[in-house]
Structure 1
């Protein structure tokens, strides 16, 4: 790999984490896309190849291309890049497929340019890719991909991302029923207004989860993994959601909820053995319901995007 080319791993992510709609996210370990980005003599960006999924090569219609174009608009100089994407996260799976492409592309380009941009700026560029995918420039997936670990989007205007600690024994389990729910469609079912009562409950849970991460209080983390606003609406779109949640909690999960816009369902657990028990309970539930699925058990990825060395 030359200094003009870089190969990277872009992690899958869990957004919202129950109580943090559009503001909380975490990065997964071992689940993600791979990308090769190289400098070219031609200005701008071109998507040379995509394997694994049928996605547009037009940079303006591709999330990776749109994100890099946003970066190049802010770059003080001329530069050109071509991108190859090995798409291992299925679009519409609810674990940050578009975010991995958008975040990975701008992170790699920034590396090849000598790191002129901060992580916060990279999040802003990657958000433009998310806008192509869902119509909304949200950061709850791209932020943890770029920062690693847990992240909190404290503000969108101006953009303010806070890196949060990841307790050492915390594991994430994700089960993906083999259906697709597009983020844009999933957003359409969300109500524009909520009651003050529900807002107070949600704010308390968000603050409790953040406090639990800082203090490594697993019981507090578990008590805070409740969503009073989005989950009751979106869960209707996911087959067997209530059964999966009940089975996960019975198997020892700290909490369970919808990953991003779904259909993936996530749970958090303390220790690897508990995580494996939860994964087994999830599998058993979907097997009984005759639903095809993928399942992942992962430590929290505190590094985020990383270089793959040959």
Structure 2
């Protein structure tokens, strides 16, 4: 039985929401097709396709094999073999939740093929646990956004994870620069973060997080702009992000609410009112040109959760 599942890219953190806020966006997606048959627990990739196929391993070093094994182990399934095809449509090592989306897609596909009928939270949890393969530690923001869809906040970020969807009417723009990725980027970008902070900075960070959530929900531009301006994670990572300060300056001058690092970067996510989208995109294009960097800049609409798109 073959099942094909699509999972969209995601942008995590949104400034002050490190590891607990993420949004699924329709700009890019991965698709995974699985076929399950009687066997002894062997898992193999039999094809990798799509615009970013050459950016990921086509063997057991691919996170989708690790994620598939994670699911089989969780449910003590050892009497089947799994063949996997991956269509890789999300740019890799760009801060767009590429590994999370692939993991979620293969887990949901296997859930359907094996008639497990897992709910989206279980799929998100298994996907986040699989992130340890590339990041060194599990994290659940990207996998939850890709599994559930929309703007999500983790209300419990350790298993069993729990999340809630938030509604927002803001518009989003993704800027994906064409730069050489840092080797082991996700792991590296977590290692540069401070191991501890003082109480005063913690209080300031909590105020920013509250402003971020309030601004997104109630469309308060001022509160949202404060929340997008993180005081802990972004300062530690900004020096690794091409054109970081210029992107933020140009987007705000064009009327955007703010720009933040998407996940671990180097992509940037810009939040704006719908009426300013065209002008903000033009401004972002100028910013990257002035930095001498090519970039793909697209308006990104909120995407649904992982879902079946075909099977035989």
Same topology, TM > 0.5: yes
Q: Deviations over 1:132-176 (max 9, x none)?
A: 111111111111000111122223334332222222x32211111
Partner Cα distance (1:71, 1:254) in 2 = 40
CA–CA distance in 2 between the matches of 1:93 and 1:72?
A: 29
Task: Return the match for 2:263 from 260, 273, 288.
Answer: 260
- For residues 55-113 of structure 1, the C-alpha deviation after alignment (integer angstroms, 9 at most, x for no partner) is 33443x32111111111112255443221112122221111111111111111111222
1:39 maps to which residue? 36
Q: Would you identify which runs of 4 or more consecutive aligned residues in structure 1 move more than 6 Å?
A: none
2:115 equivalent in structure 1? 114
State the partner residue of 1:5.
2
- How far the C-alpha of 1:216 sits from its partner, in A, is 4.3
Farther off after superposition, 187-196 or 211-220? 211-220
Q: Show structure 2 runs of 5+ residues with no match.
A: none
Aligned residues: 303
Please say if 1:185 is aligned against 2:188: yes
Structure 1 regions of 5+ residues with no counterpart? none
Q: Match for residue 231 of structure 1?
A: 234
CA distance in 1: counterparts of 2:62 and 2:14, whole angstroms: 26
The answer to which of 279-288 and 220-229 deviates more is 220-229
CA contact (8 A) 2:170 2:216 kept: no
TM-score, scaled relative to structure 2: 0.90
Structure 1 counterpart of 2:251:
248
Q: Which residue is equivalent to 2:158?
A: 157
- The structure 2 residue matched to 1:202, chosen from 202, 205, 208, is 205
Conserved? CA contact 1:240–1:286, under 8 Å: yes
CA offset digits 1:219-273 (Å, max 9, x no partner): 43333212100111211111211000011111121221101111111111221x4
> 1:279-298, aligned counterparts within 5 Å?
279-298=281-300
Q: Residue 28 of structure 1 contacts residue 299 of structure 1 at CA under 8 Å; is this kept in 2?
A: yes
Whether the 8 Å contact between 2:129 and 2:140 is mirrored in structure 1 is no
- Stretch deviating more after TM superposition (12-21 or 61-70): 61-70
**Would you say the 8 A contact 1:110–1:116 is kept in 2?**
yes
Deviations 1:108-140, CA, capped at 9 Å, x for gaps: 111222343222221221123211111111111
TM-score normalised by structure 1 residue count:
0.90
